[in-house]
Amino acid sequence: MLKTTLAVLWLTLVILFLTLAQGKAATELSQCHKIAGTQLQTVGKTRVQVLFFKVYDAYLRTNTGHYPEYTSLQLELNYLRAIKAADLLKATADEWEKQGFPVTYQSEQWLQQLHALWPDVKTNDCLIAEHIKGHGVTFYTAEGLLGTVQNEQFADQFLAIWLSPESSFQRNRNELVGR
């Protein structure tokens, strides 16, 4: 009888812990969804995995609910694992190279700006890249504004990582753009 009671108590505690953990993650995500403040419509969503490792969930939202027809766009990445900012920068540079963007003084400057803006991410952290045409890309976390890279060429090149037909992750790209 005592073993059964302890087992039920243990199971109840595990369920309570999991429920609280899910609630905390849901709260963090809902804060991230609202952080940029603009009401946008979801175009698509996807989960990016590398081999068996889940990396992040991505959401694409625009003012029109379509891509590429928009004036305001948000790309939200909800991380499913911890990643150092230096690794995010390296992945950005690698993706630009894979898509044929030349390494220029300007692209090196953009990477330096991102280095100053981006934090290391932990599991359940999020980053939002908001592009309002003509204003570059503004980056946010659940805690708020990180900063802006005010350059339309940067916006095109940065968003191409996820949205270009040459994206390394075609299935994910197609899910994001609603195809």
Give per-residue pLDDT as tens, 84-140.
999 999 999 999 999 999 999 999 999 999 999 999 999 999 999 999 999 999 999
Q: Which of 71, 65, 85 is nearest to 127 (CA)?
A: 85
Better-scored residue on pLDDT, 28 or 76: 76
| Mean pLDDT score, 44-67 | 95
118 is written with which tokens?
Answer: 């981006």
Better-scored residue on pLDDT, 159 or 37: 159
Q: Is the dihedral of CA 104, 110, 113, 117 positive or negative?
A: negative
| Mean pLDDT score, 161-179 | 95
- Asked whether 34 and 24 are in contact (CB, 8 A), the reply is no
Looking at the chain, how many residues does it have? 179
Q: Who contacts 159 (Cβ-Cβ below 8 Å, separation ≥6)?
A: 73, 75, 129, 131, 137
- Other Cβ atoms less than 10 A from the Cβ of 116: the count is 10
- CA-based end-to-end distance of the chain: 57
| Mean pLDDT score, 73-82 | 97
pLDDT of residue 121: 97
pTM of the model: 0.81
Q: Which of 78, 53, 58 is nearest to 141 (CA)?
A: 78
Q: For the segment 27-44, what is each residue's pLDDT rounded down to a tens digit?
A: 444 467 666 556 899 999
For domain 2-176, which CATH number applies: 3.20.20.210, 3.90.25.10, 3.50.70.10, 2.160.10.10? Answer: 3.50.70.10
- Average pLDDT score over the chain: 85
Q: Where are the domains of the chain?
A: 2-176
